[in-house]
Structure 1
């Protein structure tokens, strides 16, 4: 039998944490729930993480990383403004379809971050990393002629994109049957294309 590495065990715990938080929410999820889901003892959980807040903060960081890595990889393959906008819309749709619980959890964690300095830091760091990565991506796309974007306006554009992303996520989590409704996306697509030309 192959022994599980420390890194694999921690990843399993963080995955179980995100799963439990997505199902039950922050307040209702207990350390025992997470230990049971990860199939480890509560003592071992405390060996790796100081407390629930530490575990949740690390799980959020872990979740942000995998989500953004996949999203940025998809967006970076675009070679025209149309491909870029269509890919951004597709990424949002995909995240809402495949990970609706994680998307909902992010909004709950934003609320929790207002009461917890540790969760607030992870949330702020995740947002700042997303802004920096997208800004760098759009500056590169502009430099190679995929789109026209004033470098001084790149951060404002990225923040506008994230506002649209988060606003649409809130709306569509409440009405998932509308995720593929083109009547919603066509005006957003037109607006984004105007901003990129």
Structure 2
């Protein structure tokens, strides 16, 4: 689903209802901003409806519950993260290019879209208690890993990089490293990230190297 497509949520014990694209995007955007600012518990339908410029009843009518709306936020952010990752890795012609693309993507995430990092960790906490959110978050992680693994496979098959393990395993390690670094840098905003990033790049080079 792209960020501009209509969202088609299912309301429990009722028919599938289609919310037109503009209002759907405004509602999902408002929930995303609210969770980053207030946390999931504090993001009521009243807050979201007011910030989206729609009625509270409309949120209930189309999404049914806050959890279902949060699931739609996860799905939309999946598209955003995958598109950003693809843009960073598209022009890689060496192992250094590939790693530099990953570092740029992490820097842009932490410096330009820290709300997304906050949202992901909020949703992780919620996923421990809500199966619907857990399934959506797991799907996001699978898609991210599969996309990165496909890029690694493509570059390996083109003879651009040599991998230290299977593409899916390398992708999993790199994404875990990025998530951990994002949390660390946002937790310690005064920390100079340069030495940590240099160490992370050195670790990545053990998994992604130039062809022998």
TM-score w.r.t. the length of structure 1 is: 0.91
Q: Which moved more, 1:62-71 or 1:123-132?
A: 62-71
2:191 is matched with which residue?
Answer: 178
CA contact (8 A) 1:131 1:159 kept: yes
Q: Gapped runs of 5+ residues in structure 2? A: 1-18
> Pairwise CA RMSD of aligned residues?
1.5
Tell whether 2:22 aligns with 1:8.
yes
Tell whether 2:35 aligns with 1:21.
yes
Matches within 5 A, 1:37-186: 37-149=51-163, 153-178=166-191, 181-186=193-198
State the 1:155 CA deviation: 1.1
Matches within 5 A, 1:181-196: 181-196=193-208
Distance 1:32 1:100 in 2: 24
CA contact (8 A) 2:88 2:104 kept: no
CA contact (8 A) 1:10 1:48 kept: no
Q: Bigger relative contact order, structure 1 or 2, given CA contacts below 8 A and separation 6+? A: 1
| CA gap 1:115/1:54 in 2 versus in 1, 3 angstroms | same
Q: Which moved more, 1:99-108 or 1:21-30?
A: 99-108
CA contact (8 A) 1:18 1:63 kept: no
Query: Which one has the bigger helix percentage?
Result: 1
After superposition, give the CA deviation of every residue in 1:69-91 in whole Å (9 maximum; x if it has no partner): 11222122211110111110111
